[in-house]
Amino acid sequence: MIYVTKSYLPDLDEYTAYLKGIWERVHLTNDGPLLRQLEDQMKEFLGVRHLKYCSNGTVVLQMALKALDITKEVITTPFSYVATTNALLWEGCTPIFADIRPDDFCIDPDAIEPLITENTQAIMATHVYGNACRIEQIQAIADKYGLKVIYDAAHTFGASYNGQSILSYGDLSTCSFHATKVFHTVEGGCIVTDNDEMAEKLHFYRSFGHRNDDYRSVGINAKNSELHAAMGLCVLPKVPELIASRKEVFGYYDSRLDFSKITRPTLTPGVDYNYAYYPIVFDTEETLLRVMDALQAQDVLPRRYFYPSLNTLPFVKTHQPCPISENVSLRVLCLPMYPGLSEVDADRIASVVNEAVALVNID
């Protein structure tokens, strides 16, 4: 079976060496030494000032909204994983969906401005598939109207824009280290800021709003454990190699897929990509479903990222039409993409896709 992704696992001995230390110290969680080591290494790797390592990539979105005191309308993207919208709804905010750009599927800055009202407080955008949003345009709108910018940068670990980690942009930026992401710690996430006060606030938020007897603010449990941090310490040094291997897989698909009937989203100029996903777009949903069936028959399981368009979720009460997102989400499929996917397998997957697409176009 070939799934859309396959988690990288480090050498077991390397992980158990860290476990030995944990067993000796009996310090399992709560700001442990491995967690701090991982935070330092990640800050260095990404070149960012403050980074709080947390339990997942969803709670950090919630913390971002809380930390910026966002409670009303937030202009957001309909083309993301459901966690982006969930975080807004969970925090009692009202998501207002702005449509996406037809070329790279990130939020369209031109669609943001007409949606701004006196209740708009922030823009929450996703760097889709690890490609950067139109950061300058979004910042210009935010500056003009006094809005905060939060980036769901869950896909961007290892990707940069104009020479800086994509995680370094916006008022706050969050990442996910879930097992399926480019860099993972089994479960995990982080929130990034270059503001010292904000970092301190987030540090308290992460563990119930207090440190010992110093009860400073409301908080949540967003801590992560030493066992997760240990996985991170094993995987982080491998990230450059893992991205290089993803790039090779990218090359296999690029050279074998027939692009007369398939398109691919574009990259924003200035992005150094991390090859997080391999999305392809078909002419119709019917073609997509046929391709999925053909792949499934070969025990290959691609995924529909992102589907459905989040503005159409049944539990969302605000219904801005987003025709581009609604249309793209019906036609986009992410092919298996992970380090070490073999050339033979990529070749086979590309052939199945090409044949299924060609068949649809005959009947």
Rounded distance, CA 267 to CA 237, Å? 26
Which one of 36-44, 143-151, 152-160, 226-234 is the stretch in contact with ligand PLP (CB under 6 A)? 152-160
Closer to ligand PLP by CB, 192 or 353: give it: 192
Pairing of strands 120-126, 271-272: unpaired
Closer to ligand PLP by CB, 87 or 288: give it: 87
Determine if 53 is a binding residue for ligand PLP (CB under 6 A). no
Q: Pick one of 84, 94, 165, 329: the residue that binds ligand PLP (CB under 6 A).
A: 84
Determine if 85 is a binding residue for ligand PLP (CB under 6 A). no
Q: Point out the residue whose Cβ comes nearest to ligand PLP.
A: 57
Determine if 81 is a binding residue for ligand PLP (CB under 6 A). yes
338 in Cβ contact with 6 (< 8 Å): yes
Determine if 105 is a binding residue for ligand PLP (CB under 6 A). no
Determine if 324 is a binding residue for ligand PLP (CB under 6 A). no
Determine if 155 is a binding residue for ligand PLP (CB under 6 A). yes
Cβ at position 57, least distance to ligand PLP in Å = 3
Binding mask 58-77 for ligand PLP (x = CB under 6 A): x-------------------
Closer to ligand PLP by CB, 174 or 193: give it: 174
Asked about 181 being catalytic, the answer comes back as: yes
Q: Pick one of 109, 158, 170, 189: the residue that binds ligand PLP (CB under 6 A).
A: 189
316 in Cβ contact with 85 (< 8 Å): yes
Q: Which among 166, 188, 241 has a CA at the least distance from the CA of 60?
A: 188
- The size of the interface with ligand PLP (CB under 6 A), counted in residues, is 14
Determine if 176 is a binding residue for ligand PLP (CB under 6 A). yes
Determine if 83 is a binding residue for ligand PLP (CB under 6 A). yes
Q: Pick one of 5, 76, 80, 274: the residue that binds ligand PLP (CB under 6 A).
A: 80
Neighbour-count burial for 135-172, b at 16+ CB within 10 Å, e otherwise: beebbebbeebebbbbbbbbbbbbbbbeeebbbbbbbb
Closer to ligand PLP by CB, 150 or 300: give it: 150
Binding mask 297-316 for ligand PLP (x = CB under 6 A): --------------------
Determine if 279 is a binding residue for ligand PLP (CB under 6 A). no
Residue 307, φ and ψ in degrees, nearest 5: -150, 135
Q: Which among 112, 162, 169 has a CA at the least distance from the CA of 141?
A: 112
Determine if 154 is a binding residue for ligand PLP (CB under 6 A). yes
Cβ at position 297, least distance to ligand PLP in Å = 28
- The one catalytic residue in 66, 181, 201, 223 is 181
Q: Pick one of 148, 178, 223, 246: the residue that binds ligand PLP (CB under 6 A).
A: 178
Closer to ligand PLP by CB, 222 or 353: give it: 222
Pairing of strands 120-126, 73-76: parallel
Closer to ligand PLP by CB, 294 or 310: give it: 310
Rounded distance, CA 351 to CA 353, Å? 5
Binding residues for ligand PLP, rule: CB under 6 A, are: 56-58, 80-81, 83-84, 126, 152, 154-155, 176, 178, 189
Q: Show which residues are catalytic.
A: 181
